[in-house]
Structure 1
Amino acid sequence: MNKINIKRIKASTIQVIGNKTREEGVSFATRLTDLSSSEEFIKQFVENSFKTVDQKQFTYIDNLELNPVYNFVSKIFSNNELFIKQSVNLATYLYEQSLHPNIKSGEFYTILLDCIVDNEMIEALLLLKSEHKDAFLTTDNDGKVISVKTVYGASIKNMDKGCLILNQKSEDGYIVFVVDNTNNGNDARYWTESFLHIADRCDDYHTTLSVANLCSSFISKMQKSEKVDYLELALAASRNNELMNQKSTIDVKKLPDLLFSSSKYKQDFNDFLQNYECMNDTIPKTFMPKPEAIKRKSISRMNSIRLDNNFEVKILNSQAELIRGYDEEKEMSFYKLWFDKEY
């Protein structure tokens, strides 16, 4: 999916939501709010804040239809005339989830938009919660004196919580994008889990993440075992990085053979994969790797071997030729490697 371009704001409300445990209440909207003067601000926020590769969807324990936010959003998309009523329902439900003491009072924006995605006009709903204010200096020039005053408001760079819902794939829970700049774990979960109830979409991006996490967890576990073949594990990490950057489909069943040369590690990894699928959602049989998904994953840094405090061997190419040996005279282990030229 390409960049999301906002064409116009169709309707909007702003409501103030407090912390329920402190009985701060909600200031409900009774009419639409005119955001025409802030339309450029909203456009920039949407276009700069949401990662289109990281797609989510609404979910619920047993039945998607039981997700309150999904229901409120569906009614807005079905009938725009219900916008104010359903935005009040969204604010009420968010207030009901505002139970953690760290959750701050803030403005809750509900904004109905028309946007263009992949050359198609799509209706979308933007939910924002702003809890922190930034200070801004403004000037006023009456022709004689320039005065300066401080105003406080939301910053496009520091919007606390955001959610963009595209009116696509409603039967699967819509296509949803989320931004959450809250660092506190319990505070963050109330937005994504308690309020929105969202999950990753089953797509190549998230499958790439799952496989990277799987390989990272396995290598980390093997590094802690009694008999460790650090060279084999470093080579496996290097092969994984190469696989996740290729432009061809990967067969998940072939991963053990693609990653390891040792029959023991192949079997251990296969067992680990089956156990992972029992504990988590099943990984698709095949997927097209998305390199952007693993840029910051720890697996990309596991292709190194530390030798005491003296050396670190980083294997950038799984075809690199090196062997491990033991020098009886020195009573020390060594690595022998071959190369064409130095840089």
Structure 2
Amino acid sequence: MITSFEASLEQLSVHKAGNKSQDDYFVLSDAPLTLHDELLNNLLMQYFLKPFEKVNEVYRFMHSGNDLALNEVYHYAKKCFENTNNFHDLSQQLTRHLYDVSTHPKIKSGEVYVVLFNDVQIEGELHQALGIFKSETKETYLKVYPDAGGFNLSYEQEAINIQKLDKGCLIINTESEEGYKVVVIDQTNKTQDAAVYWKDDFLKLKIRNDSFNQTNNVLGLYKNFVNEKIDEDFTISKPDKIDLLNKSMKYFKEKEKFDFDEFSNEVIGNETASNSFKSMVQNYEQEFETPLSNGFDISNQAVKKQNSNYKTVLKLDKNFHVYIHGDRKLMEEGFDAEKGMKYYTLFFKEES
């Protein structure tokens, strides 16, 4: 999604934001950094931009009152793009805002980097971009150096691993009236309440309803439908559920466009189940204001992402795992009364 081989770092300011609920204050630098070391510049570019190369989801800024100007980060980013002479002052304002929303007790303090880039490529176009990054995780590094005909060791504590960006966002200077294009990284507190503060409390984002997210959402909804919802209307075996998931993945891999009626006929094949899934999709559309059921172009990247989440493994006690990839008709289920156990019969032509 993001490529940076043509990008350049134009301005950089570094501050620190603590945890407001623990009286761990923020520290603002007086001036932006001036980088004279080309190697350091290259390392920072790698640290800031490389993690976004595999990010496909694109977000927009939003505000609950539908007035984008009330979104603080959007407001400061827009002012920065309009007049880059205000960059450092606006970086301070952004850090204050981040500090104000850092109230969860598990939020760690860390350095805040506000960076102005030129020529960041997204979706085939080059744009100016404003980056906001935070380093929360510190590590200890060993240093080996020559000494008296041999080697000696030292170490550096509280250092930053440039291969591990904790939190970051890139605000791309395009489509400002729609809330810009925004891509996000958050590698810490993924399963905790503290995780929401970066994307929801600080940035206030909503997902962009493009083909990647539409494909990803429908496949995710269908997986939940098969694994959980379909049991409300049918008695269905685990192999039959896996077969439904395999059929859906085959549909998305072979088709270029998603059509709900076509999907219902070719994959679900049952009117009651189709209506139940459609109701599930419509509820999602209303809750998240994200149209899905009218059809969309299928994103191959989203299919690859969801394919790894689709489980096609039938676990039988602790003895066997059966991977089901093909024709469900070649698998029969039975019950052995003498042993008091269920069994499956598998039909095949060759063993490899």
Instruction: Tell me how far 1:36 sits from its aligned partner.
Output: 4.2
Is contact 1:8–1:115 with CA below 8 Å preserved after alignment? yes
Aligned to 1:55: 58
Backbone CA RMSD of aligned residues: 3.1
User: Which is worse superposed, 133-142 or 51-60?
Assistant: 133-142
Instruction: Tell me how far 1:120 sits from its aligned partner.
Output: 4.3
For residues 78 and 206 of structure 2, the distance between their equivalents in structure 1, rounded to whole angstroms, comes to 18
Is contact 2:47–2:164 with CA below 8 Å preserved after alignment? no
Aligned to 2:220: 213
The normalised TM-score by structure 2 is 0.84
Is contact 2:223–2:310 with CA below 8 Å preserved after alignment? no
Is contact 1:8–1:113 with CA below 8 Å preserved after alignment? yes
- Are residues 29 and 234 of structure 1, via their aligned partners in 2, closer, same or farther at CA, if it must alter by over 3 Å? same
For residues 74 and 153 of structure 2, the distance between their equivalents in structure 1, rounded to whole angstroms, comes to 45
Aligned to 2:77: 73
Identity of aligned residues (%): 27
- Are residues 128 and 333 of structure 1, via their aligned partners in 2, closer, same or farther at CA, if it must alter by over 3 Å? closer
- Are residues 67 and 236 of structure 1, via their aligned partners in 2, closer, same or farther at CA, if it must alter by over 3 Å? same
1:201 to 208, 219, 223: 208
- Are residues 107 and 116 of structure 1, via their aligned partners in 2, closer, same or farther at CA, if it must alter by over 3 Å? closer
Aligned to 1:272: 280
1:175 aligns with 2:181: yes
CA distances 1:213-241 after superposition (whole Å, capped 9, x unpaired): 21111112246447422254332211111
Is contact 1:4–1:46 with CA below 8 Å preserved after alignment? no
| Number of residue-to-residue matches in the alignment | 342
Is contact 1:213–1:299 with CA below 8 Å preserved after alignment? no
Code of the aligned partner of 1:95: Y
1:341 aligns with 2:350: yes
Instruction: Tell me how far 1:96 sits from its aligned partner.
Output: 0.5
Is contact 1:17–1:107 with CA below 8 Å preserved after alignment? yes
2:269 to 261, 267, 272: 261
- Are residues 259 and 71 of structure 1, via their aligned partners in 2, closer, same or farther at CA, if it must alter by over 3 Å? same
Aligned to 1:187: 194
Q: Which runs of 5+ in 1 are unaligned?
A: none
Instruction: Tell me how far 1:281 sits from its aligned partner.
Output: 2.8
The normalised TM-score by structure 1 is 0.86
Is contact 2:313–2:323 with CA below 8 Å preserved after alignment? yes
Aligned to 1:292: 301
2:106 to 102, 105, 121: 102
Q: Which runs of 5+ in 2 are unaligned?
A: none
For residues 312 and 196 of structure 2, the distance between their equivalents in structure 1, rounded to whole angstroms, comes to 33
- Where 1:26 maps in the other structure, the secondary structure is coil
For residues 9 and 342 of structure 1, the distance between their equivalents in structure 2, rounded to whole angstroms, comes to 57
Instruction: Tell me how far 1:52 sits from its aligned partner.
Output: 3.9
For residues 306 and 108 of structure 2, the distance between their equivalents in structure 1, rounded to whole angstroms, comes to 32
1:129 to 126, 129, 134: 134
Instruction: Tell me how far 1:335 sits from its aligned partner.
Output: 6.2
